[in-house]
Amino acid sequence: MKFSILLAGSALALFPSSIAQAANVEIVAQNPVIELSVSEQVDSAPDTATFSTGVETKAPTATQALRDNSVQARAVIDRLKSLGIVEKDIQTTGINLRADYDYDQESRENRFVGYVVSNQVSATVKDISKLGKILDAIVSSGATNLNGPSFSISDDSQLKDMARERALDSARTRAMSYARAEGYTGVRVLSISEGMSHQSEALMMRMEASTASSPPVVPGQVGTVVSLNITYEMTR
């Protein structure tokens, strides 16, 4: 049985730069093989939160609706900056203009009443302890909607390493169990592929624009997941 393994990354530093960035190496398996899919998760407290907010305005004309919206949206963005969120952590995610209609019960027809403009931005907060106050402040500055937050870890490289090591240990233990059951004494790796994901145990929060005090925010835990697909050959 033959397997193709892709060699890439730091291993290629041993070869001259003129060689291609990846090479296919063919390995022939002389004994039965085991194909396993293993996932391991490491939970940790998040240190970053992202939410979206925006302004919606209505006016008889499209021009006026856009102008009114621009004034309010700029006030919200300026408020975000004044709260310590740097410009690179603020991003416009959508500006929309649409006609607005009311349904007339008597005529049973839609009646044109003007235009609606919405401007949405996303913002990333590096100090989660301030998130509730930030949300309260931007509503006070004119934001008409909030969505989020979603939580993450700014540098999860060590968590990925931990999850990867656990996945490798788990896969090898399972592979050895299969090998011994079939009368073999060991296993060797033929191929490994990896996938990663994040899972947040904190619920997404959605708020209306009116609030009497700073909203409570519970970050919960963020799970860093490493999934491995490993093929082993049984050995004696």
Q: Which two tokens stand for residue 163?
A: 């999850």
pLDDT digit string (tens) for 141-154? Answer: 999 999 999 999 99
* Strand arrangement of the beta sheet that strand 33-44 belongs to: 33-44, 222-235, 186-200
**Rounded to an integer, what distance in angstroms lies between the CA atom of residue 59 and that of residue 112?**
12
User: Which domains does the chain possess?
Assistant: 31-45+155-235 (3.30.110.170), 48-152 (3.30.70.2970)
pLDDT of residue 26: 62
pLDDT per position in the chain (236 positions), as tens?
444 333 333 333 333 444 444 455 566 789 999 999 999 999 999 999 999 999 999 999 999 999 999 999 999 999 999 999 999 999 999 999 999 999 888 888 898 999 999 999 999 999 999 999 999 999 999 999 999 999 999 999 999 999 999 999 999 999 999 999 999 999 999 999 998 877 665 444 444 443 457 888 889 999 999 999 999 999 99
